[in-house]
Structure 1
């Protein structure tokens, strides 16, 4: 295998970094930049699910522990 030097080395490393960036974008970056699309999908798929019915072991559904009592 030939040793890469100069611009060929930069091209190979740049190609690897670019390929990783292209693979990561739809998985990590797009959901962080555009969460509305994913919130709509989640609302549709969870429309008929009551969390109290599927909570394991009759555990209480999560609530904010720092929520102040309204008096």
Structure 2
């Protein structure tokens, strides 16, 4: 009986450790260069979409609704 209780106790402690380890990291603050990179990626994506629509023979106008 003592061995069974020990196993149950060990299993529950291991489960608790696994849960704690998931949230162990610190959140990284974005630097100014990271923010600039994100903005430039968004700008490139928007330009790419705009050019795709503008070059399409089917559409004549571009509606600004995707910002």
TM-score calculated relative to the size of structure 2: 0.35
Could you say which structure has the larger radius of gyration?
Answer: 2
